Structure 1
Amino acid sequence: MARKPIRSFIRFALMALALTAYPAAAQPVLNCAEHSKIVEFLGSHYSETLQAIGLINDAAILEVYVSKGGSWTILVTNVSGRSCVVFAGQNWETLPIGPGLKT
């Protein structure tokens, strides 16, 4: 029974440690709101559109929004529809898949 809280604490500690390794430009933002409001804001203010999505677990998904100008935002959305901006930055670059590139 005590394993779950211990694992959660260890995950939190590792995440906090990992976040301190990033430069200031990629520090976590953690602004939360209803998913549709954040998506609307990203589109109207930064021209960012959904470019990638991934399942984190049964309760959350990760979304990557990117603009043609290179700005990017990573959201985490829970099953209730609440999203949090986890990271945001500039100079996003999408690599083409071609010979020799592993995916």
Structure 2
Amino acid sequence: MRTPPKTILIPLMFAVVALTTPLLISTPASAQAVCGLRPAVLKQLQGNYKEAPVSMGLASNGSVLEITRSDTGSWSILLTNPSGVTCLMAAGENWESVKSENAEYNPS
């Protein structure tokens, strides 16, 4: 039996890796976003983590992005869609507020 030339094996190996990597790193089906009505989600964050809203903004699609945090540094990012459903998008620890010297953005 003849061995295939390297010009075929190398692209084939890359194709196998490219096709199987997403299967290995994908999240489990049970890892779904936590969603509910905004008052209930905020009550849960306040009761469990002592978090309260500190910042919010309106996205171009009409959703409201909101950041909650606690005095101990825990934080959450919530997204409320125009129909009123709020979902926990991210959460973590060690939140630190950064104060800018200038209120205006200056990239230089």
Normalised to the residue count of structure 2, the TM-score between the two structures is 0.62
Aligned pair count?
Answer: 77
- Equivalent in the alignment of 2:34: 31
Shift of 1:54: 1.1
Whether 1:93 and 2:88 are equivalent positions in the alignment is: no
* Structure number with higher strand proportion: 1
Aligned-residue CA RMSD in angstroms?
Answer: 2.5
When Rg is computed on C-alpha atoms for both structures, the one with the higher figure is 2
- Equivalent in the alignment of 1:9: none
- Equivalent in the alignment of 2:51: 48
Equivalent residue letter for 2:66 = E
Shift of 1:74: 0.2
Residues 7-65 of structure 1: CA deviation (Å, up to 9, x unaligned): xxxxxxxxxxxxx8xxxxxxx86211111100111111111111111111243110000
Which 4+ stretches in 1 moved above 4 angstroms?
none
For 2:96, what is the secondary structure of its paired residue?
coil
Taking the TM superposition and a 5 Å limit, the aligned residue runs for 1:11-90 are 30-90=33-93
Shift of 1:98: 2.8
* Structure 2 residue runs without a partner (length 5+): 1-24, 26-30
Normalised to the residue count of structure 1, the TM-score between the two structures is 0.64
For 1:69, what is the secondary structure of its paired residue?
coil
Distance, in Å, in 2 between the alignment partners of 1:29 and 1:62 is 19
Percent identical residues:
32
